[in-house]
Amino acid sequence: NHALLDGSWAFVCNGPGMSLGFILADAGYDVWFGNNRGNVYSTNHTTLSVDSAEFWNFSFDEMALVDLPTHIEYVLGATGAKSLSYIGHSQGTIQAFAGFSRNQTLAAKVDLFIAMAPVAFVHHQESPILKLMFSLGADMVFQLLGVRQFLTTKTGITKLGSWICGRTPGICDDVLELIVGPGHHLNKTRIDVFVSETPAGTSVKNMVHWGQGMRSEVFQMYDYGPTGNMAQYNQTEPPQYHLGDLQVPIALLTGGLDYLADPQDVSALIAALPPKVLRKHMNLPDYAHLDFTWAQDAHVFLYPEILQLLAATHQTVDIFV
């Protein structure tokens, strides 16, 4: 599953032979893409209006505890397989760390979890833009003002971003670096293509949840405040996600220049995992956050490792990305 403010398009963005989705399919795997609620491909509901407060009342808690099991059960039901492998990038990893740690029945149906730019703890993230945004409490201001959607396609930001980046790719590259880290592996002539699909949108509540993680050093559910927590959880503090409960075999693929999956936070993640579940940790010293899906050389340096991991541990042909 994809990153924050991203969509499944990221796994095919560089086309056949270069993007992970195509490479997995060419290797004979049955590839299923997920799109988290609120992004451009997932703004529909059978009963709720997309403009309602109820539709946008979610964070990565709901992605982990409701959507992730729904996605996986759907794939297994459609294919008849008993298990599958899961590949996540950034937010796609945080919802898996949360979901698999809380739902052991679900976790038993996953034979391998490949985490690219893995995120659980985010307190040490190094993005200057996000540090400024969350230190000023901009996320909470949006919420107090009743703003529910964050950088969705309704804002027109992807059209504007693509237009600007098509004319001044250097400026766009500098902005991206301030958010996710220096991208030495991007084809900078395609930045306008990338930003035509990203940001793909999420809820303000989800951004607030990410901000709570950046302000603290714990991996926990959404914090409604003492009164709200009592109503929601029957305790004054939000429940924590216990990474020590994970039973799924995990491979971590990290980048040394990743501002959002910072090496300090990755170290905290590894320390919290049961040693028996960590099957591999591969670090690419000069990869930044977006390189895992956007890099023009990921098919050379990264995806062959993923194919090897799948070949060594896979028991079925279903992959949920």
Q: Which of 59, 192, 289, 291 is catalytic?
A: 289
In a 13 Å sphere around the CA of 88, the CA atoms on its Cβ side amount to 29
- Dig out the tokens for 292 from the structure: 């895992």
Q: Which of 244, 223, 242, 265 is nearest to 90 (CA)?
A: 265
Q: Which of 90, 101, 127, 203 is catalytic?
A: 90
Rg, C-alpha atoms of the chain = 19
Q: Which of 59, 99, 66, 88 is nearest to 210 (CA)?
A: 59
Question: Residue 300's Cα: distance from chain center in Å?
Answer: 22
> Among all chains, which residue has been given the structure tokens 């107090």?
144
Q: Which of 97, 53, 91 is nearest to 203 (CA)?
A: 53
Q: Which of 258, 262, 265, 291 is catalytic?
A: 258
DSSP states along 30-56: EEE----TTSTT----SSS-TTSTTTT
Question: Residue 187's Cα: distance from chain center in Å?
Answer: 22
Is 90 noted as a catalytic residue in this protein? Answer: yes
Point out which residues pair with 116 in neighbouring strands: 89, 253
Is 258 noted as a catalytic residue in this protein? Answer: yes
Q: Which of 271, 276, 265, 301 is nearest to 286 (CA)?
A: 301
Q: Is 319 strand, coil or helix?
A: strand
User: Exposed, middle or buried by CB within 10 Å (0-12, 13-18, 19+), for 277?
Assistant: middle
Is 162 noted as a catalytic residue in this protein? Answer: no
Residues labelled as active-site residues: 90, 258, 289
